[in-house]
């Protein structure tokens, strides 16, 4: 039970397969909508029911205004096959009457040797047609050695807002090197049509990082 700042069953797994690369300081990008995260949310995850299977349930009470309703969510997680992880969840956002929405999240990843591939799809279906959103994402990572790893991820964002006439696409390539307690990382991100309009709005970013464990 959380008084604030928690997520429901769908919001808990709505990070894209590529790792939410949309969230890297794109000034004109619209934040994807999410399921309810109201104050007082209750969330319960069962113990493992069978090989690698757990179920999740969540409940968010109505807000302090009369123009809001309760929101519920359900989900399942499965990891019963070596290397495979599957997550499915659905949740509601009934915080405002007339703007109710359902969110569905589907994710899967499979690791085989040094290679891991992952895919995800987030769908936000709202009462107001202009609030519908969809995010499709893919990622592939390769562990070159015990010290070096690389990854490539993509996200396609579809927005039904009145001004949205183009899909936004974001791609990222990252690499990291670990030696002892030191990790060096680099990432290149390219975003196309980040404002969802026909006006060209493309961005490129380079990021470098270093961390040390003592």
CA separation for the pair 122, 10 (Å, rounded) = 9
The pLDDT value recorded for residue 78 is: 97
State the CATH class of domain 11-212: mainly beta
The pLDDT value recorded for residue 4 is: 65
Q: What is the pLDDT of residues 32-49, one digit of tens each?
A: 777 665 567 888 999 999
CA separation for the pair 91, 10 (Å, rounded) = 5
The pLDDT value recorded for residue 109 is: 98
Q: What is the pLDDT of residues 167-195, one digit of tens each?
A: 889 999 999 999 999 999 999 999 888 88
Boundaries of every domain in the chain: 11-212
CA separation for the pair 198, 184 (Å, rounded) = 38
Does the pLDDT value for residue 50 go beyond 60? yes
The pLDDT value recorded for residue 188 is: 95
The pLDDT value recorded for residue 159 is: 87
Does the pLDDT value for residue 97 go beyond 80? no
Paired residues of 151 in beta bridges = 141, 174
128 or 81: which carries more pLDDT confidence?
81
For the chain, give the mean pLDDT: 87
């Amino acid at each position: 039970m959380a008084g604030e700042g928690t997520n429901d069953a769908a919001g808990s797994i709505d990070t894209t397969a590529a790792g939410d690369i949309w969230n890297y300081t794109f000034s004109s990008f619209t934040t994807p909508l999410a399921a309810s995260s109201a104050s007082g949310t209750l969330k319960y995850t069962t113990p493992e029911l069978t090989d690698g299977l757990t179920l999740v349930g969540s409940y968010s009470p109505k807000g302090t205004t009369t123009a809001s309703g309760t929101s519920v969510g359900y989900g399942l997680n499965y990891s019963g096959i070596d290397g495979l992880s599957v997550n499915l969840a659905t949740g509601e956002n009934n915080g405002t009457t007339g703007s109710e929405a359902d969110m569905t999240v589907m994710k899967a990843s499979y690791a085989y040797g040094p290679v891991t591939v992952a895919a995800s799809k987030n769908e936000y279906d709202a009462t107001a047609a202009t609030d519908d959103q969809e995010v499709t994402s893919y990622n592939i990572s390769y562990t070159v050695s015990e010290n070096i790893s690389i990854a490539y991820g993509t996200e396609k964002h579809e927005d039904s807002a009145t001004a949205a006439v183009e899909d936004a696409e974001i791609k990222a390539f990252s690499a990291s090197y670990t030696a002892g307690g030191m990790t060096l990382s680099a990432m290149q991100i390219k975003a196309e049509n980040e404002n969802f309009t026909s006006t060209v709005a493309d961005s490129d970013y380079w990021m470098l990082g270093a961390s040390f464990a003592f």
